[in-house]
């Protein structure tokens, strides 16, 4: 079995391949972001990641962010969200809770205050249902700041929300009027 460090290393590489650069491994993603598990494992092997199907299943099941999913028959795998390549993950519009949270770094606050949250090179802005998760996300980018998002008000104003299989809330943009920046 993989140790935690090796599982994390493979998981990060899978994130790169399944969300952003499938060509890095010489695979393709279909329109819904799926790729063949056997082909993926073969390509991983030739790239120096010698993992079995069971080890891949372990990575998918134990990833703390639930980044990946298998098809029902486990013949296909994809990332749950965060793609910069064009895919249609089949999200269904969903009513968000009144408040959601976004973790970012202090250095981005002035830009966010001016322009709101934008999806940049991703398909959506990512929001969390709890402050702790948002804090952890923000801490990956520098001194963390947690923004409170008035998601319920946004939805009432016509903004569309989705929720990925791993619980991340998604929307196209968050205008400044719906962002609460606490005292910094």
pLDDT for the residue numbered 183: 60
Q: What is the tens place of the pLDDT at every residue in 54-109?
A: 999 999 998 777 889 999 999 999 998 778 888 777 788 999 999 999 999 999 99
CATH code of the domain containing 51:
1.10.10.970
Distance CA(23)–CA(29), nearest Å, equals 9
Q: How many structural domains compose the chain?
A: 2
pLDDT for the residue numbered 113: 94
CATH code of the domain containing 171:
3.20.170.30
The parent domain of residue 150 ranges over: 100-180
Query: Does 93 fall in a domain?
Result: no
Strands 169-171 and 117-118: unpaired
> Looking at the structure, do residues 176 and 112 belong to the same domain, yes or no?
yes
> Looking at the structure, do residues 62 and 122 belong to the same domain, yes or no?
no
């Amino acid at each position: 079995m993989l140790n935690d460090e090796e599982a994390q290393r493979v998981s990060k590489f899978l994130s790169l391949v399944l969300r952003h650069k499938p060509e890095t491994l010489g695979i393709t993603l279909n329109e819904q972001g799926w790729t063949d598990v056997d082909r993926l494992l073969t390509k991983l092997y030739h790239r120096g990641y010698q993992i079995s199907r069971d080890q891949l299943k372990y990575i998918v099941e134990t990833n703390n962010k639930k980044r990946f999913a298998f098809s029902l028959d486990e013949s296909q795998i994809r990332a749950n969200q965060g793609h910069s390549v064009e895919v249609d993950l089949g999200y269904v519009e969903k009513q968000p809770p009144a408040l959601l949270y976004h973790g970012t770094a202090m250095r981005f606050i002035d830009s966010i205050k001016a322009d709101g949250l934008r999806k940049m090179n991703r398909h959506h802005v990512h929001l969390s249902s709890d402050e702790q998760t948002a804090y952890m996300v923000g801490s990956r980018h520098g001194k963390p700041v947690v923004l409170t998002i008035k998601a319920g008000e946004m939805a009432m104003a016509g903004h569309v929300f989705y929720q990925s299989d791993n619980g991340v809330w998604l929307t196209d943009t968050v205008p400044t009027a719906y962002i609460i920046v606490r005292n910094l």
